[in-house]
Structure 1
């Protein structure tokens, strides 16, 4: 991690204008504690690159000529985050300050009959979102992609149980060809963990277990403030191993008292004893698996996301009660509900795009990920049920 004092003066000036707000050369010089001449040179570079422009100023009566004030051009380009699943595809667009300017949901890729058709549908979803937001494709500076499966550090899909046609396919390369910009790809649960760490419930917490509990159970790890991939990019693929009672091939959760988890939870709320007993057993097994992971990683926080997190305290309260008995330790690890819900992986893909392609996004090196600002809730369409991303 590059500390601010080691950043170039150009990057430090750009970050201040992006994250703090408009400033004059003198204000930048004082804030950054560098010479006026150095700041003037940096401002010239940023102006030539199209990242900054003169900000409007108000002149007080009787005042002399005001100093030139510079502002960061948030709309100089667009960054895209895409979350691909079999039940839904989500696309988010942000400006260069990380403010989400558009968000759109589409049907998942399950209806497409082969891998090529699935990819073509995703490309069309991105193009539709850009068109509706009046953003020309040429203004897209980077795309981040979340999808279900093991993904290597280069962005190639190693294996996907959920979208098997993409196993071994370089999805990033295909999207680069379609949009003519850098594309980075990663596992959906890992990127959901990234989003919760960057802008969700786990901000400022550097050691986090993120569990996506839905059709399957999958994990994303944040260790030392960074997502953990593992040497074989398989860190977190633990659902079928750490949690007893799941399908040993796919990690699928099966239910006996009803067809879906939502129905089991609903029956339990009505007082159905069979459903409540099944739910109690499931939560106890979930606590057992979490205890195993906790003793392995020793996290500061456990975040529960995925479809079952929509049960809220009907799941979390008994889970918090069950975990200490399995841990048998003199401390408790807080369990929190994911804040971003179904939109986590798409926003994580956005963070990933800024993180992996910062030089392409801004045209200069050493630019950190901006604080991502989601759309207000009332501007977001109701979320579809979450399918597992792993």
Structure 2
């Protein structure tokens, strides 16, 4: 981002948002602006409620201390929601991008139909807001992650995981309830966005993110932006890139056990058939990734999903197999995702800040803030519905 092209008001807002309180003289010096320009910008930002007087530190010198200004981060909030069959995750951040509450709930699998699934998500969001004592009126935007192909307007084109929502504008439904802008996108794409913005891939702009869990799905970051494609289907590659590993819905299948966890456990215990199946799985997966790598030529491959934590059984042999399949005099870093199961909800939060900056800050041109997640021990989990 070239901050020199931003308006003076935005530059001043970013300075106090991202660097802390400051006087007019300090802001003018750091931004190389005139004092008058900064004073005018501070006046505008004060009227918008984005900047307030900082608490006085009490100086020792004679005379009144210089007036300091600080960013009013708690005046409004933005929400990221990750909707899934197994879980619904909700994160709430203030205007500085600091996550103030994060909670997980049972997924929507038990809801009887599409309307009931949507009601369950609405109830989850309301519960989080009530628990944090945040009135709905202070909610500025919502980002939603869900499984399926989603068009650029936020309408669900198709979802094999939540088929009742196919063809439904979930964003419009939520906007009607909460009265703020809502953006919706594919969960794996938003997980890639999160790893690029605040996770393991912050320093590179071409990223191939692969989620390997119950399914195999991909998200692409090209030139620092998520790749949607003309039909919004970029990344829906499970059935084609990994034949033999997945079903028509992208679901992974196993011969030696019912689940991946069971197969990995059997292999660790020395079961020959499970070890052989795992070896074949890694080799076929590496072949598919090599095809994608040589098509996109990313700076990094990020592996997320439930299998990403199995280092010695999965990631280490996958790296070796990938290098063998690529067979060229360069290597592509293959790394474990940093955000784990929380990636998509935080990606939805980034998405909301990016899509609705003007509504969030009442100021055009404000970029996405650095997102600061809560420590893992602070995250709240809920029991089944």
Match of 2:103 in 1: 104
**Alignment partners' CA distance in 2, 1:310 and 1:88:** 19
Match of 1:216 in 2: 215
| Kept in 2: contact 1:342–1:383 (CA 8 A) | no
Q: Point out where structure 1 has 5 or more consecutive residues left out of the alignment.
A: 385-390
Give the secondary structure class of the aligned counterpart of 1:64.
coil
Give the secondary structure class of the aligned counterpart of 1:111.
coil
Alignment of 1:66-215 (within 5 A): 66-215=65-214
Say which is worse superposed, 76-85 or 322-331, in terms of deviation.
322-331
Match of 1:286 in 2: 285
CA RMSD of aligned residues (A): 1.3
Match of 1:39 in 2: 38
1:98-141 per-position Cα deviation (integer Å, ceiling 9, x unaligned): 00000010010110111000000000000000111111111110
Q: Does 1:232 align with 2:219?
A: no
Question: How far 1:351 sits from its partner (Å)?
Answer: 0.3
| Kept in 2: contact 1:155–1:186 (CA 8 A) | yes
Match of 1:8 in 2: 7
Question: How far 1:38 sits from its partner (Å)?
Answer: 1.0
Give the secondary structure class of the aligned counterpart of 1:295.
helix
Q: Does 1:317 align with 2:296?
A: no
Say which is worse superposed, 51-60 or 295-304, in terms of deviation.
51-60
TM normalised by structure 1 equals 0.96
Cα 1:251–1:87 shift into 2, 3 Å: same
Alignment of 1:256-271 (within 5 A): 256-271=255-270
1:47-90 per-position Cα deviation (integer Å, ceiling 9, x unaligned): 11111110012233342111110000110101000000001000
Question: How far 1:157 sits from its partner (Å)?
Answer: 0.5
Q: Does 1:20 align with 2:26?
A: no
Question: How far 1:272 sits from its partner (Å)?
Answer: 0.8
1:294-326 per-position Cα deviation (integer Å, ceiling 9, x unaligned): 010001100000111132332100001111111
Give the secondary structure class of the aligned counterpart of 2:80.
strand
1:311-359 per-position Cα deviation (integer Å, ceiling 9, x unaligned): 2332100001111111111111110000000000000000001000000
TM normalised by structure 2 equals 0.97
Match of 1:49 in 2: 48
Match of 2:328 in 1: 329
Q: Point out where structure 2 has 5 or more consecutive residues left out of the alignment.
A: none
| Kept in 2: contact 1:176–1:183 (CA 8 A) | yes
